[in-house]
Amino acid sequence: MVIRNAAILASQRCNLRREERRRKQQAVTKQDRRLGVAARPGVFDPQRCAIDPLHRHGANLTLRFVLWVTTAVFLRKHRTLGAVIKLHHLERSRSHRVLWLLEELGVPYEIVEYKRNHETLLAPASLTKVHPLGKSPVITDADTTVAESGAIIEYLAEHHGGANLVPAVGTAEHQRCRYFMHYAEGSLMPPLLIKLISSKIRSAKVPFFAKPITAKVADNLSASLVTGALIKHTAFLESELAQRQWMCGDHMTIADVQMSYPLEALASRSDAGTAMPNIVRVLNAMRARPAYQRAIERGGPIMID
């Protein structure tokens, strides 16, 4: 008997709720006619939303669905959102300029540090696990691996908010930027590298009777491949920088980032330090930037002693 009464009571309550919903729907329909609002199932209507809780609930579901789909599409397109760039950083290397650019861009990144061999100054073999050539710098950005500093700098500027560091295409500044991106490693670094090698030959530990021989080899290298070349490069850069504040114009560009390491090497290894005021001026402007200083704090000294 108790169960039967409970069932009857539940049925009556269900009927009451059904009747209440029917009356509300009728009231909404009458209100729609007075307002001239056509009933459009599944379409959000502000006038109906104000008087019909059921319509408002359906509209909320529709908006949530649209938001969910939009978010899913965005995350699919930007699958690296939240990923952290990983810089494989070799001490005292070209990797510093990539560090500088990362600091300038303000993007999150991690440093994986590698130490040089004390005898050969070469990078450790473990770098070959990141890139077959085993050289630094190399970055990994989600499933993308990029090597070579110039390529890395262009990649970061293109994909991580560095558009303001690239001059507009078709301008003289853009042409200079492209030139110095290639000039840095293609023309300026080779004599500087040879000068470093010749200095290491001169200071190498050899038997005393071989010392004059190694010194002669070092002198010949410098005389034939270094001295004249650095005089030409210094004069060329002085002429270029006398006309502008930075490498390409009045604003810093990715060409300045690419040129920073050769300019540091030129100031460190050249014998004509007092004869390049414009080079020193630009180099000091680079060193004065907070991002440049943070890069040194994180990555250590730039040049090989």
> Which amino acid is located at 171 in the chain?
T
Report the 10 Å Cβ neighbour count for 86: 17
Using the predicted structure, report yes or no on whether residue 57 has a pLDDT greater than 60: no
How far CA 60 is from CA of 32, 55, 163, in Å, comes to 20, 9, 39
Last residue of a domain, one of 159, 177, 206: 159
Instruction: Read off the pLDDT of each residue in 61-66 and give the average, rounded to a whole number.
Output: 66
Q: What is the DSSP letter of 247?
A: S
Q: How many domains does the chain have?
A: 3
pLDDT at 216: 84
Question: pLDDT per residue over 69-106, tens digit each?
Answer: 666 555 444 444 556 999 999 999 999 999 999 999 99
Higher pLDDT, 237 or 208: 237
Cα first-last separation, the chain: 99
- Same-domain pairing of 228 and 284: yes
Last residue of a domain, one of 159, 184, 203: 159
Instruction: Read off the pLDDT of each residue in 55-81 and give the average, rounded to a whole number.
Output: 56
pLDDT at 23: 75
Domain assignment present for 121: yes
pLDDT at 71: 60
pLDDT at 82: 55
With CA atoms as reference, report the closest residue to 237 among 257, 194, 267, 196: 267
With CA atoms as reference, report the closest residue to 48 among 36, 23, 56: 56
Domain assignment present for 13: no
pLDDT at 79: 44
Question: pLDDT per residue over 129-143, tens digit each?
Answer: 999 999 999 999 999
Domain assignment present for 305: no
Domain assignment present for 10: no
- Same-domain pairing of 63 and 94: no
pLDDT at 212: 83
**Could you list the residue range(s) of the whole structural domain that residue 73 is in?**
37-77
Most confident of 12-16, 51-55, 66-70, 168-172: 168-172
Domain assignment present for 104: yes
> Do the beta carbons of residue 266 and residue 192 sit within 8 Å?
yes
- Same-domain pairing of 176 and 248: yes
Which CATH number is 120's domain given? 3.40.30.10
- Same-domain pairing of 55 and 89: no
- Same-domain pairing of 254 and 275: yes
Domain assignment present for 188: yes
pLDDT at 116: 95
- Same-domain pairing of 175 and 274: yes
Instruction: Say if pTM beats, i.e. exceeds, 0.75.
Output: no
Q: How confident is the model at residue 20 (pLDDT cuts 50, 70, 90)?
A: confident
- Same-domain pairing of 272 and 180: yes
pLDDT at 100: 98
- Same-domain pairing of 247 and 284: yes
pLDDT at 155: 98
pLDDT at 78: 47
Average pLDDT of the chain, as a whole number: 84
Instruction: Read off the pLDDT of each residue in 33-54 and give the average, rounded to a whole number.
Output: 51
Instruction: Read off the pLDDT of each residue in 20-45 and give the average, rounded to a whole number.
Output: 57
Higher pLDDT, 201 or 144: 144
Higher pLDDT, 53 or 297: 297
- Same-domain pairing of 176 and 141: no
Question: pLDDT per residue over 101-132, tens digit each?
Answer: 999 999 999 999 999 998 888 999 999 999 99
DSSP letters, 63-75, are HHHHHHHHHHHHH
- Same-domain pairing of 194 and 229: yes
Residues 168-186 as b/e (b if ≥16 CB within 10 A, e otherwise) read eeeeebbebbbbbbebbbe
- Same-domain pairing of 59 and 132: no
What is the side-by-side strand order in the sheet with 109-114?
Answer: 109-114, 85-90, 138-141, 144-147
Last residue of a domain, one of 113, 129, 159: 159
Distance between alpha carbon 13 and the CA centroid of its chain, in Å? 64
- Same-domain pairing of 249 and 230: yes
Domain assignment present for 224: yes
How far CA 301 is from CA of 92, 100, 137, 153, 292, in Å, comes to 6, 13, 15, 20, 11
Q: Is 108 helix (H, G, I), strand (E, B) or coil?
A: coil
Domain assignment present for 183: yes
Question: pLDDT per residue over 222-277, tens digit each?
Answer: 888 999 999 999 999 999 999 999 999 999 999 999 999 999 999 987 765 458 99
